[in-house]
């Protein structure tokens, strides 16, 4: 029996949750789902499992990771789950790690493949996706999160039954909880949603050097990004950083200027449909993953592209 | 204020990951090493806290003998002393890592008083287990918030912010607490030459814990098949502009 934690937003299960259901299906046996918090009952209608359990409690209006862990453990115990699977998002991963400690079990984060057996075998992501690990999980109950966008999602469908319940939560379960939400700064195109991202790396040379990057991004209605080397030099804020420890982007085209292509950076740009590299070094690692390249100095190439765009837009 | 930051030594992988012949590790012969990025911000935060509030900052690592380099790096920017749990190079899984760290924390607290704050990275750059900080927090019976991009201490509690899709979620934790942080929390400083000199003389305590069996047991590592391709060169220098704009028009992003 598998239990899948299904996250939901705006009344529907999230894509990564439907991917978690697909991963769980690979383990065989019946699958139940757990949905927590307001909107759970509505979202459960589209979750194709034998039974969907919906935890409803006034205290669950705001995210409380220890409470989520407590609910996960109690439902897993009640239905006799031998595997618990969750989407590899920050909130679900946090709750799963807490559940793992409570159950005295290991947790395998960001799995891409699991195969039932004793021991259970799995493949999981390391280095933000630059490396995979094949491993055996020696556990009484297998706790797994699925790496986002590594597994094809199941199609939404109706559950066999929906069971809403009120979990028992202690004061300690609610000590760590979201007390407030601060709105994001207004304006600008966000890196994660941009159709065009123009990024500068160490090759830009200075904070002022980003003027040519900003100009091109502005003309294309895109967002400006940067590499870790740039952030660490203090040329751009960390909010602009693309990479394993920065933003993950998925634009139609990613224009990488003066970026060498370190694995740390590429881990954030894997979602790009096309990559155009502008680099003085035709042998730079970025050239091995780019679809298109311009060999040259970005300080000459970018102004020329901007000028050509202006000429054609006029 | 007494602050602990736990760090991990990881290789700087550069452009391409190459594995050792037995597929058990990354070939690091030609690589440098650094503190895993998120934890680098934890070190900076610990130094700033003690600069503001007074007290003591301590850095801890579980890792090979050479990881002393990373402890000295942390001391070079202002951490007061180090604790080194020395390993033989075998990888410790998250449960084992957290277990050894908790034992070391308990021993240190028994000798020199409790930590108000313990920082961990949200996840290590290499193994990415996302759990060592939480496991330690549970074992110590302290509240924990994860993935933090901002931490402010006021009157015995920590106001912590986490980036989420719709902005930032705010947590308030009573101290003592365990906080796992993300890069972007601050901009870590570079060590000065006098800082490096002082770091060599700061106290460093080393012990060699025994590694328990692993319940998440690695079979082998695999470099994912990239769609390695040869980029189509659109041109050299500014003369390439027309070809680039042709491409941008073709994929419909030029207007």
The CATH code of the domain that includes A55 is: 3.40.50.620
Of A174, A208, A233, which residue sits at a domain end?
A174
A186 is a domain residue: no
A188 is a domain residue: no
Residue B166 pLDDT: 75
Regarding whether A85 and A233 lie in a shared domain, the answer is no
Regarding whether A169 and A99 lie in a shared domain, the answer is yes
Q: Which of A210, A218, A72, A223 is nearest to A145 (CA)?
A: A72
φ, ψ for residue A203, nearest 5 deg: -60, -15
Under 8 Å between Cβ of A15 and A23: no
A179 is a domain residue: no
Best mutation site among B11, B169, B243 for testing chain A: the one with the most A CBs within 10 Å?
B169
DSSP letter, residue A247: B
Residue B174 pLDDT: 97
Under 8 Å between Cβ of B21 and A135: no
Decide if B144 and A181 are in contact by the 8 Å CB cutoff.
no
Regarding whether A203 and A93 lie in a shared domain, the answer is no
pLDDT tens sequence across A78-114: 999 999 999 999 999 999 999 999 999 999 999 999 9
Regarding whether A204 and A161 lie in a shared domain, the answer is no
Regarding whether A141 and A39 lie in a shared domain, the answer is yes
A274 is a domain residue: yes
Regarding whether A153 and A92 lie in a shared domain, the answer is yes
Under 8 Å between Cβ of B34 and B124: no
Closest residue to A252, CB basis, from B123, B234, B253 = B253
A85 is a domain residue: yes
Which residues of chain B neighbour A175 with C-beta distances below 8 Å?
Answer: 143, 173-174
Q: Tell me how far apart the alpha carbons of residues A33 and A7 are, in angstroms, rounded to a whole number.
A: 10
Regarding whether A126 and A68 lie in a shared domain, the answer is yes
Regarding whether A170 and A72 lie in a shared domain, the answer is yes
pLDDT band at A184 (very low <50, low <70, confident <90, very high): confident
CB atoms within 10 A of CB B232: 12
Share of chain A above pLDDT 70, in %: 99
Regarding whether A161 and A208 lie in a shared domain, the answer is no
Three-state SS sequence of A132-170: EEEEEECCCCEEEEECCCCCCCCCCCCCCEEEEECCCCC
Decide if A294 and B234 are in contact by the 8 Å CB cutoff.
yes
Span B168-182, mean pLDDT?
97
CB atoms within 10 A of CB A310: 12
pLDDT tens sequence across A215-249: 999 999 999 999 999 999 999 999 999 999 999 99
Span B195-201, mean pLDDT?
96
- Per residue in A141-164, is it b (16+ CB within 10 Å) or e — as a string? bbbbbbbbbbbebbeeeebeebee
Closest residue to B161, CB basis, from A182, A253, A307 = A182
Query: How far are the Cα atoms of A248, B5, B16, B84, B110 from residue B106, in angstroms, in the given order?
Result: 38, 14, 40, 14, 6
Which residues of chain B neighbour A262 with C-beta distances below 8 Å?
Answer: 13-15
pLDDT tens sequence across A110-164: 999 999 998 999 999 999 989 999 999 999 999 999 999 899 999 999 999 999 9
Residue B228 pLDDT: 66
β-strand partners of A9? A12
The chain B residue lying nearest A298, using CA atoms, is B237
- Is A305 at the interface with chain B, CB within 8 A? yes
Of A174, A207, A232, which residue sits at a domain end?
A174
Regarding whether A136 and A34 lie in a shared domain, the answer is yes
Q: Tell me how far apart the alpha carbons of residues B183 and B57 are, in angstroms, rounded to a whole number.
A: 19
pLDDT of B157 higher than 90: yes
pTM: 0.94
Of A118, A141, A174, which residue sits at a domain end?
A174
A184 is a domain residue: no
Q: Tell me how far apart the alpha carbons of residues A48 and A116 are, in angstroms, rounded to a whole number.
A: 21
Regarding whether A107 and A229 lie in a shared domain, the answer is no
Which residues of chain A neighbour B125 with C-beta distances below 8 Å?
Answer: 127-128, 244-245, 264
What's the mean pLDDT when you consider all of chain B? 95
pLDDT tens sequence across A1-24: 999 999 999 999 999 999 999 999
Decide if A135 and B219 are in contact by the 8 Å CB cutoff.
yes
Decide if B170 and A136 are in contact by the 8 Å CB cutoff.
no
CA torsion, ordered A45, A49, A54, A55, to nearest 10 deg: -150
Which residues of chain A neighbour B160 with C-beta distances below 8 Å?
Answer: none
Helix (H, G, I), strand (E, B) or coil at B3: strand
Q: Tell me how far apart the alpha carbons of residues A236 and A217 are, in angstroms, rounded to a whole number.
A: 15
Query: Any residues with CB less than 8 A from the CB of B103 and at least 6 apart, and which?
Result: B209
A284 is a domain residue: yes
Query: How far are the Cα atoms of A312, B10, B82, B87, B119 from residue B206, in angstroms, in the given order?
Result: 66, 19, 8, 10, 20
Segment 37-96 of chain A within 8 Å of chain B by CB: 63, 65, 90-91, 93-94
pLDDT tens sequence across A20-52: 999 999 999 999 999 999 999 999 999 999 999
Could you tell me which residue, B229 or A236, shows the higher pLDDT?
A: A236
Which residues of chain B neighbour A149 with C-beta distances below 8 Å?
Answer: none
Q: How many domains would you assign to chain A?
A: 2
pLDDT of B23 higher than 90: yes
Within 13 Å and on the Cβ side, how many CA atoms surround B64?
10
Decide if B170 and A181 are in contact by the 8 Å CB cutoff.
yes
pLDDT tens sequence across A295-309: 999 999 999 999 999
A42 is a domain residue: yes
Regarding whether A167 and A32 lie in a shared domain, the answer is yes
Residue B105 pLDDT: 98
Q: Tell me how far apart the alpha carbons of residues A75 and B25 are, in angstroms, rounded to a whole number.
A: 38
Decide if A182 and B170 are in contact by the 8 Å CB cutoff.
yes
Residue A48 belongs to what domain range? 2-174
Query: Any residues with CB less than 8 A from the CB of A308 and at least 6 apart, and which?
Result: B241, B242, B244, B245
The CATH code of the domain that includes A224 is: 3.40.50.1220
Which residues of chain B neighbour A292 with C-beta distances below 8 Å?
Answer: 231-234, 244, 247
Residues in chain A: 314
Which residues of chain A neighbour B144 with C-beta distances below 8 Å?
Answer: 176
Helix (H) or strand (E) holding B68: helix B68-76
ipTM above 0.90, yes or no: yes
pLDDT band at B128 (very low <50, low <70, confident <90, very high): very high
Residue B227 pLDDT: 62
- B90 burial (CB, 10 Å; 0-12 / 13-18 / 19+) is exposed
Q: Tell me how far apart the alpha carbons of residues A8 and A90 are, in angstroms, rounded to a whole number.
A: 14
């Amino acid at each position: 029996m598998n239990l899948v934690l299904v996250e939901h937003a705006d009344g529907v299960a999230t894509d990564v949750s439907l991917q978690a259901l697909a991963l769980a299906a690979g383990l065989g046996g019946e699958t139940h789902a757990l949905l927590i918090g307001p909107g759970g009952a509505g979202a459960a209608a589209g979750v194709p499992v034998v039974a969907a359990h919906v935890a409803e409690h006034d205290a669950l209006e705001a995210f409380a990771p220890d409470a989520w862990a407590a609910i996960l453990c109690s439902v897993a115990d009640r239905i006799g789950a031998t595997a618990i699977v969750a989407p590899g998002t920050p909130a679900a991963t946090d709750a799963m790690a807490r559940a793992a400690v409570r159950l005295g079990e290991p947790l395998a984060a960001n799995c891409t493949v699991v195969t039932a057996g004793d021991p259970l075998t799995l493949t999981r992501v390391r280095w933000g996706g630059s490396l995979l690990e094949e491993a055996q999980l020696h556990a009484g109950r297998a706790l797994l999160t699925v790496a986002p966008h590594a597994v094809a999602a199941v199609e939404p469908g109706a559950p066999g039954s929906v069971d809403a319940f009120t979990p028992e939560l202690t004061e300690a379960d609610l000590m760590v909880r979201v007390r407030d939400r601060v709105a994001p700064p207004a304006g600008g195109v966000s890196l994660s949603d941009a159709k065009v991202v123009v990024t500068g790396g160490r090759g830009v040379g200075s904070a002022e050097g980003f003027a040519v990057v900003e100009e091109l991004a502005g003309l294309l209605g895109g967002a400006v990004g940067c590499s870790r080397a740039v952030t660490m030099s203090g040329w751009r804020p960390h909010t602009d950083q693309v990479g394993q420890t920065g933003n993950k982007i998925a634009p139609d085209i990613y224009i990488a200027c003066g970026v060498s292509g370190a694995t740390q950076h590429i881990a954030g740009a894997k979602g790009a449909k096309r990559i155009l590299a502008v680099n003085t070094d035709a042998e730079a690692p970025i050239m091995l993953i780019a679809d298109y390249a311009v060999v040259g100095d970005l300080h000459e190439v970018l102004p020329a592209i901007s000028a050509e765009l202006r000429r054609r837009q006029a | 204020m007494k602050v602990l930051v736990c760090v991990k030594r990881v290789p700087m992988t550069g452009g391409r990951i190459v594995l050792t012949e037995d597929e058990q590790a990354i070939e690091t012969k030609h690589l440098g090493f650094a503190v895993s990025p998120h934890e680098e911000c934890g070190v900076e935060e610990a130094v700033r806290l003690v600069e503001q509030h007074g007290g003591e900052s301590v850095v801890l690592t579980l890792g090979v003998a050479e990881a002393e380099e990373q402890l000295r790096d942390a001391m070079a920017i202002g951490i007061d002393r180090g604790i080194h749990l020395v390993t033989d190079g075998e990888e410790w899984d998250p449960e084992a890592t957290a277990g050894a760290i908790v034992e070391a924390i308990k021993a240190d607290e028994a000798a020199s008083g409790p930590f108000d704050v313990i920082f961990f990275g949200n996840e290590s750059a290499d193994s990415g287990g996302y759990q060592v900080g939480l496991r330690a927090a549970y074992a110590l019976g302290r509240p924990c918030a994860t993935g933090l991009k901002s931490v402010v201490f006021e009157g015995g509690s920590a106001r912590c912010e986490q980036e989420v899709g719709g902005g930032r979620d705010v947590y308030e934790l009573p101290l003592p607490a365990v906080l796992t942080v993300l890069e972007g929390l601050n901009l870590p400083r570079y060590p000065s030459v006098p800082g490096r000199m002082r770091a060599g003389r700061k106290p460093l305590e080393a012990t060699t814990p025994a590694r328990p069996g692993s319940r998440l047991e690695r079979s082998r590592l695999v470099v994912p098949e990239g769609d390695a391709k040869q980029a189509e060169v659109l041109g050299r220098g500014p003369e390439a502009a027309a070809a680039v704009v042709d491409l941008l028009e073709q994929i419909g992003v030029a207007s």
